[in-house]
Structure 1
């Protein structure tokens, strides 16, 4: 009798683990994972604003007090520089790899000058950059990314309607471009 109960317990634990694995891997099989959805918004190396919940374009932003933009990129041909500056009460940045694992995150409180100035590169690219750091990057935060493709999510807080225009301008002026040293 004890071996029968043991077999049932092992079977239930195994079935639970199998279901968890299937549920967690389901987005990658359906093509509805975050990276695949973000790629459909437009070309690489450009921030695209995400719509609010009621909009059908890209209903990913569910907080009306936050404005969000996303940029897909590839560091295969060179590092990517993420830059934004503006008069907004709060902003945050998160960089993800193609498997939607968070590689790096920061906000305006942890930035050097209050502006977003980040360079995302592979480990080999960063070695070359650190050997001869260009003057452009003296205040930049260097981020190492193991893979070659990913996306960045930039968010800003809009506490009142009067701050709406500044937030929209902040996201519209944000850049996500391949870095070429001068």
Structure 2
């Protein structure tokens, strides 16, 4: 009788774990995960605003005081440089890999001089860059990404309607482009 109860308990625990795994992996099988949805935006290596006429295109942030933009990129053929500057009260950046795992995050308080200047690259690419750091990357934050594809989410705070235009200009002026050293 004891082994029968033990088998039932083990079976129930196993079934619960299996259901949890299925539920958590479901977005990747349905194509509705964040990375797949970000890839659906027109072109890679360009920041796209996530609000379109008041409708949020991705459920990343529902806070009306935050404006958000996203950029899909690939470091397969070389590093990608994320750059933005402007007079906004607060901004934050998060870099995710193709599985939507956060690889790196920062904000204006942890940046160099308050501007966003980040280079995302594979470990091999970073080794080559660190051997001879180009002048334009001397103040950049170097981010190592193990995978080749990912996306970046850039958010900025809009404390009042009068700052809306500045925040929108900050996101519109942000770049997410392949890096080529000017040598």
Tell me which interval the TM-score lies in, with the shorter structure as reference length.
over 0.9
1:53 shift after superposition: 9.3
Provide the rounded CA distance (Å) in 1 between the counterparts of 2:111 and 2:85.
11
Task: Report the CA distance between 1:59 and its aligned residue.
Answer: 4.4
Aligned mates of 1:158, 1:59 — CA distance in 2: 19
* Pair 1:80–1:120, CA change in 2 (3 A): same
Partner of 2:162: 162
Q: In the alignment, is the contact (CA less than 8 A) between 1:94 and 1:153 conserved in 2? A: yes
Aligned to 2:43: 43
Instruction: Return the alpha-carbon distance in structure 1 between the equivalents of residues 156 and 24 of structure 2.
Output: 30
Corresponding residue of 1:80? 80
Aligned in 2, Cα 1:136/1:170: closer, same or farther, shift over 3 Å?
same
Q: Structure 2-normalised TM-score?
A: 0.96
Q: Which stretches in structure 2 are left out of the alignment for 5+ residues?
A: none
- The alpha carbon displacement at 1:6 in A equals 1.1
Aligned length: 181
> Which deviations, in whole Å up to 9, do the C-alpha atoms of 1:153-174 show, x marking residues without a partner?
0000111111100100000000
The residue matched to 1:83 in structure 2 has which SS?
Answer: strand
Q: What is the correspondence of 1:45-124 to structure 2 with a 5 Å cutoff?
A: 45-51=45-51, 54-55=54-55, 58-60=57-59, 61-124=61-124
Q: CA deviation at 1:54?
A: 5.0
1:120-152: CA deviation from partner (whole Å, max 9, x where unpaired) = 001111111111101100100000011110000
Q: What is the RMSD computed on CA atoms of the aligned residues? A: 1.3
Q: CA–CA distance in 2 between the matches of 1:77 and 1:6?
A: 54
Residue 52 of structure 1 contacts residue 64 of structure 1 at CA under 8 Å; is this kept in 2? no
